[in-house]
C-alpha cells in the first residue's frame, strides 16, 4: 500500500505541476488526463511507457472520484481527457456537449468485491453484512463515487439497503475505502476487484453477482474544450493498443476492445 500512496501523491504532484504550467505557458504537447482514482497505478505506469516513446509529450494525471472529475470539467477546470469508472458521468458530460463524442469509447471492465482486513471477520457473502457484529462498512459516496453507486445497487439487489443504512461510512473515492479496510478503521468495505488486488492487507470475501449491478465499464474520451485534441487522440489510441492492454491486465482490468 505504501507504493500506492506514493504513486497517488506523485499523481497529485503531476496535476499541480500541470495546472501551474497551464497558468503560465501552455504547450501543445502537454496533456492533462482526469482519471478515476481506481486507475491510478496502471495509468501512471502507462504514462511512463508512453512518455518514454514520446519524449516531446508531457502527460499529467488528475486522480479523483469520477463524479468529482465530472463536476470539475463542468465547471471549466483544465482537462484534455476524461477516464471515468462509470458510463454515467461520461454520459452527463456528453449530454451537456462537453465531450468530443466521436472519441468516447468503452475501454475497461471491472468487478465489485467485498473485502475485510487480512485478519478481519470471516465473511462468505454480502448477506453476512447484516450480522449484528458488523457495524462499520466502508463504501464510496453514491452521489459522486461510481463504486459507491454500484455498492448501492448490490445492497438493493440483496434487499439490504435499509438494514445497512446505519452501518455505512462514506468515502470520497474508492481508494479511501481500501485504506480504511487496510487500517481496520472499518470492518468491511466494497471496492473494485482491481483495488483489492493492489493490497496485501485485505482479503476478498465475496464477488458481487454480475446481475446485482449495472456493468462496471470505464469509458474514455477527449474533452471538447481541449486545445490539444490531436495529442489527446494519439494517447487514447495508445491506451487501446496491445501494449497498454497487457498493463491493464496486469492490474486486473478486463479490456473491452476485442481487437486488442
The answer to whether 147 is a known ligand-binding residue is yes
Q: Strands 112-117, 202-207: parallel, antiparallel or unpaired by DSSP?
A: antiparallel
The answer to whether 165 is a known ligand-binding residue is no
Q: What gap in Å lies between CA 57 and CA 79, rounded to an integer?
A: 15
The answer to whether 38 is a known ligand-binding residue is yes
Q: What gap in Å lies between CA 230 and CA 112, rounded to an integer?
A: 35
What residue has cell string 471492465? 109
For 160, phi and psi rounded to 5 degrees?
Answer: -115, 0
Q: What gap in Å lies between CA 11 and CA 74, rounded to an integer?
A: 21
Q: What gap in Å lies between CA 112 and CA 171, rounded to an integer?
A: 16
The answer to whether 192 is a known ligand-binding residue is yes
| Binding-site residues from annotation | 38, 66, 147, 174, 192
- Show binding-site residues for molybdate: 38, 66, 147, 174, 192
Amino acid at each position: 500500500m505504501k507504493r500506492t500512496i506514493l504513486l497517488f501523491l506523485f499523481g497529485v504532484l503531476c496535476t499541480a505541476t500541470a495546472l501551474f504550467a497551464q497558468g503560465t505557458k501552455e504547450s501543445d504537447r502537454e496533456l492533462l488526463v482526469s482519471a478515476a482514482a481506481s486507475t491510478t497505478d496502471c495509468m501512471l505506469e502507462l504514462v511512463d511507457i508512453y512518455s518514454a516513446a514520446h519524449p516531446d509529450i508531457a502527460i499529467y494525471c488528475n486522480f479523483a472520484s469520477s463524479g468529482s472529475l465530472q463536476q470539475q470539467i463542468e465547471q471549466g477546470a483544465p482537462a484534455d481527457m476524461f477516464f471515468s469508472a462509470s458510463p454515467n458521468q461520461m454520459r452527463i458530460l456528453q449530454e451537456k456537449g462537453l465531450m468530443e463524442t466521436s472519441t468516447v469509447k468503452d475501454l475497461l471492465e471491472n468487478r465489485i468485491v467485498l473485502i475485510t482486513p487480512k485478519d478481519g471477520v470471516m465473511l462468505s457473502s454480502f448477506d453476512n453484512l447484516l450480522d449484528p457484529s458488523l457495524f462499520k462498512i466502508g463504501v464510496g459516496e453514491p452521489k459522486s463515487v461510481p463504486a459507491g453507486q454500484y455498492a448501492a445497487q448490490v445492497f438493493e439487489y440483496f434487499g439490504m439497503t435499509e438494514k445497512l443504512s446505519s452501518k455505512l461510512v462514506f468515502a470520497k473515492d474508492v481508494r479511501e475505502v481500501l485504506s480504511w479496510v487496510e487500517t481496520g478503521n472499518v470492518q468491511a468495505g466494497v471496492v473494485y476487484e482491481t483495488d483489492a488486488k493492489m493490497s496485501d492487507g485485505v482479503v476478498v470475501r465475496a464477488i458481487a453477482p454480475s446481475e446485482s449491478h449495472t456493468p462496471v465499464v470505464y469509458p474514455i474520451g477527449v474533452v471538447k474544450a481541449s486545445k490539444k485534441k490531436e495529442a489527446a487522440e494519439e494517447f487514447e489510441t495508445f491506451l487501446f493498443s496491445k501494449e497498454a492492454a497487457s498493463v491493464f491486465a496486469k492490474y486486473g482490468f478486463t479490456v473491452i476492445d476485442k481487437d486488442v
